[in-house]
Structure 1
Amino acid sequence: MGDVAGRPAAVTGAEPFRSFICKVASRCNLDCDYCYVYRHADQSWRAQPQRMSLATAAQLGRRINEHAVAHGLAQVDFVLHGGEPLLLGVDYLRALCQAVTRHAPDVRIRWNGQTNGTALTEEVLDFCQEWDVTFGLSVDGPRAVNDRHRRDHAGRSSFDEVARALELFGGERGRPYWGGVLAVIDLAADPLECYSYLRSFGPPSIDFLLPLGHHDLRPPGKEHSLTGTPYADWLLEIFQVWYRERPQPLRIRRFRDIIALYLGATRSSEEWGLQAVDFIVVETDGEIQAVDTLKVTYPGACRLGLDIFRHDFDAALASPLVRARQESWRALGETCRRCEVVRVCGGGYFPQRYSRRGGFQNTSVYCADLMKLIRTVTGTVLADLREVSRPPTERPAR
């Protein structure tokens, strides 16, 4: 398959935004201990309105329409995000969608959202059906895993409500509106137990997330050394089962991205590869910000000094922080540029490269894990490709 190293093609121009992550609610009814919005360095959520006003939603629609027309985009994604968007209630969500759509007549809006599931009801599914909204569900695993990190502000379990959401999304009515599962990895949890539990509900995909951390805020299991590979080992237990399942019952985005990029794909999810990032964040007050996970690094890390009332989205495309994500090769340090797997890992997720001393030009705090994960997954794929390319008479008997 050849080496995956090498400098990518030069960026010829800014990539327009095709996805708008919109913080329609700035508060959440859960107090997850790893949350990048409420539990880390940037606490700007405290000054945000609790919900996006309909006037702000209308202006957002105008700016999205303007951007789509300027760049010839027929369709964009609008992500209902927070906080917890379902806290707004379905009547307000309908009014918000109407306000955006009314002021974006020249572009088709594909509605998505992310929810913790605690407020999911049959009425919410009515809204999803009416507006063709697909929601991702944040859930880490069975009760013991969930309750270790995902409790409410009084310290109470959220599991019963989340289990109800899994049943609703996994049922016949909810399945068309289920985008999949986001699950943060807990090293104390059994990986195969988590996979088996989540898989039992039939989600279309699972994305197992590395806890957000960086060199100055090391994640669990990496406090004393960055050379170990506990997260790769955890994920590879699942990979060895998932990869051999035929037919594969669901997508695991992390594995699919590694395989696709290794085989020559140029696009993947945000955490992988060297493609230009094509999304932007809008806060409840209309402020335009860079990727919100930067909130784990330092106060104001997401700030661009822009808002939808005074600026268009092309102004965000021209901002240095967004350009750094678009011209991802230039943002890498020398170690990453020389690495054999850089086309796959992209140098690691941007926030996870941060330190006060080196900025974002460090290797990822998960570098050793990424290296082992990529080499093992791609090595497995390569061995299979070599096997199927051999004449049948040369293949070992099974």
Structure 2
Amino acid sequence: MPPLSILLKPASSGCNLRCAYCFYADEASVRAAPNYGLMSKEVSHTLIDKAVGAAEGSVTFLFQGGEPTLAGLEFYRDFVAHVQDTFPRGLTAQYAIQTNGTLLDEEWCRFFREHRFLVGLSLDGNRACHDRFRRDGAGKGTYDQVLRAARLLDRAGVEYNVLTVVTGYLAKHIQSVFAALCKGGFRFQQYIPCLDPLEAERGGESYSLSPKEYEEFLKNLFDLWFRELEQGRYWSVRYFDNLVWMLRGHAPEQCSMRGCCSLQYLVEADGSVYPCDFYGLDQYRLGNILEHAWDELDQTREEIGFIAESRHVPERCKGCQWYLLCRNGCRRDRVPGLEGRSYYCQAYAGFFAYALPRLRRAGSMIGL
């Protein structure tokens, strides 16, 4: 059996913020059960026990939300303790958590450091962009709280990166956003385009990102990134790192750049299992970890054709010079009206034509 990667929702869709563009809140709102509450020990221990028999070498546990810290620090202490009691010699566990950072304190950070959690911190660059869409239940911005969390992580020596959601507004202000992140010392940066609500026409939200805006964003961010690189300062931008890696003949590590969906497990708080974080919907439910074995979950995934559907290559993509870099993007961004092509098809094409020579040079400059 290969290494295993499991995404957990220990607090389900529960969150202490009300970010305007939250895709999981949108998903949860159309399920029969919008929120499954907090994950019980029965679910977490069963998940860990079943992982032992299904993985070889390592298991990666990735905690997301909602806001996963709402499960409480004791949940994580118990989780790690059960892993340590259960995993045999030769099977290792790796941990990652994506958090809005507002509930972190020194105790949380010491725990992350002790157990080598990789932390993803949600931060939309600068105050104006962040507070525009990332607000708490009272409608107040959370920028200061997230910066406080970053400094706590720094002092504790926790490895972390920042995740920035690209909205139409942020795309227009990428110069100040990138400057703020670099000034803040955030060496590891990830930018992901926002998602419009399920079944909604693209571009109708206050935060929506158009293909043209995304193209200009990629070009402008790349110019800023490459200029820093030429001056001997390397900032890891995950998307650019993956492109450089691909141009040197390697497979991308980022799921959305592989061309088809991979074998993943999203485990909700009640034990329900889904094939992907973007498809935590009733119609994609594979089963429940309390009731089903991994091979049964895999069989259901095959029966509903989840991965097979993602392998479809539109006719226009087959002859496209950029397909080996684009691979038609993430399934969630593919639009039926475009013959199943990515909503950002033209954005990628324009960006690759603009940046390819420098992307090739970047590989030797950063040693990827």
TM over 0.5: yes
Structure 1 residue 239 corresponds to structure 2 residue 222: yes
CA contact (8 A) 1:58 1:102 kept: no
**Structure number with bigger Rg:** 1
**Alignment gaps of 5+ in structure 1:** 1-14, 387-398
1:173 Cα deviation from its structure 2 partner? 2.2
Task: Give 1:337 deviation, angstroms.
Answer: 3.0
Partner of 1:300: 282
For 1:278-357, what aligned pairs fall within 5 Å after superposition? 278-294=263-279, 300-304=282-286, 306-320=287-301, 326=307, 330-355=311-336
SS in structure 1 at match of 2:227: coil
Contact kept? 2:260, 2:331, Cα under 8 Å: no
Do the aligned partners of 1:61 and 1:102 also contact (CA within 8 Å) in 2? no
2:10 equivalent in structure 1? 24
- Partner of 2:254 in structure 1? 269
Question: Distance between the aligned counterparts of 2:31 and 2:51, measured in 1?
Answer: 24
RMSD: 3.0
Question: AA paired with 1:347?
Answer: N
Aligned to 2:139: 155
AA of the residue aligned to 1:23:
K
Tell me whether 231-240 or 35-44 shows the greater mean CA deviation: 35-44
Cα deviation for residue 48 of structure 1 reads 3.8
CA distance in 1, matches of 2:254, 2:102: 26
C-alpha separation between the residues in 1 aligned to 2:175 and 2:321?
Answer: 30
Farther off after superposition, 188-197 or 256-265: 256-265
2:11 equivalent to 1:33: no
What is residue 3 of structure 1 aligned with on the other side?
Answer: none
Question: Equivalences for 1:196-211 in 2 at 5 Å?
Answer: 196-211=179-194
Q: C-alpha separation between the residues in 1 aligned to 2:107 and 2:315?
A: 52
Looking at structure 2, the residues matched to 61 and 346 of structure 1 have their Cα atoms a distance apart, in angstroms, of: 34
Aligned to 1:392: none
Match of 1:102 in 2: 85
The change in CA–CA distance for 1:203 and 1:302 in structure 2 (over 3 A counts) is: farther
1:154 is aligned with what amino acid? A
The Cα shift of 1:275 comes to 6.4
- CA distance in structure 1 between the partners assigned to 2:169 and 2:58 by the alignment: 42
1:18–1:278 Cα contact (<8 Å) kept = no
Once residues 84 and 272 of structure 1 are traced to their aligned partners in structure 2, the CA distance between those partners, rounded to angstroms, is: 26
* 2:46 aligned with 1:64: no
The equivalent of 2:42 in structure 1 is 55
The offset of 1:384, in angstroms, is 7.5
2:114 equivalent to 1:133: no
- Corresponding position of 1:177: 159
**How far is the alpha carbon of 1:363 from its aligned partner?**
0.5
Residues 225-259 of structure 1: CA deviation (Å, up to 9, x unaligned): 97x52112112112112123243332101111122
Q: Deviations over 1:98-117 (max 9, x none)?
A: 23443333521101110001
Instruction: Give the percent of matched residue pairs that are identical in Structure 1 and Structure 2.
Output: 26
Report the 3-state secondary structure (helix = DSSP H, G, I; strand = E; otherwise coil) of the residue aligned with 1:157: coil
What 5-or-longer segments of structure 2 have no aligned partner? none
Work out the CA distance in 2 between the residues paired with 1:49 and 1:328: 28
Aligned-residue offset at 1:329: 6.9
Q: Work out the CA distance in 1 between the residues paired with 2:34 and 2:333.
A: 26
1:206–1:252: 8 Å Cα contact kept in structure 2? yes
Check conservation: 2:195, 2:208, Cα contact below 8 A: no
TM-score by length of 2: 0.86
| CA displacement at 1:50 relative to structure 2 | 1.6
Alignment equivalent of 1:43, drawn from 25, 30, 50? 30
User: How far has the Cα of 1:324 moved from its partner?
Assistant: 5.4
| Displacement after TM superposition at 1:97 (Å) | 2.3
Instruction: Report the secondary structure of 1:181's partner residue.
Output: strand
- Tell me, in whole angstroms, the C-alpha distance in 1 between the residues paired with 2:358 and 2:304: 35
* SS at structure 1 position matched to 2:167: coil
Q: Deviations over 1:179-205 (max 9, x none)?
A: x11101133231011111112222341
**Distance between the aligned counterparts of 1:142 and 1:263, measured in 2?**
33
Amino acid at match of 1:21: L
User: Which whole-Å CA distance do the structure 2 matches of 1:45 and 1:147 have between them?
Assistant: 31
Aligned counterparts of 1:380 and 1:333: Cα–Cα separation in 2: 28
* More relative contact order, 1 or 2 (CA 8 Å, 6+ apart): 1
1:230 aligns with 2:213: yes
**Residue by residue, what CA displacement relative to the aligned partner does 1:15-73 show, whole Å, maximum 9, x if unpaired?**
956311111112110111111111357533845432111111110001211111xxxx2
Aligned residues: 357
Distance in structure 2 (CA, Å) of the matches to 1:294 and 1:92: 25
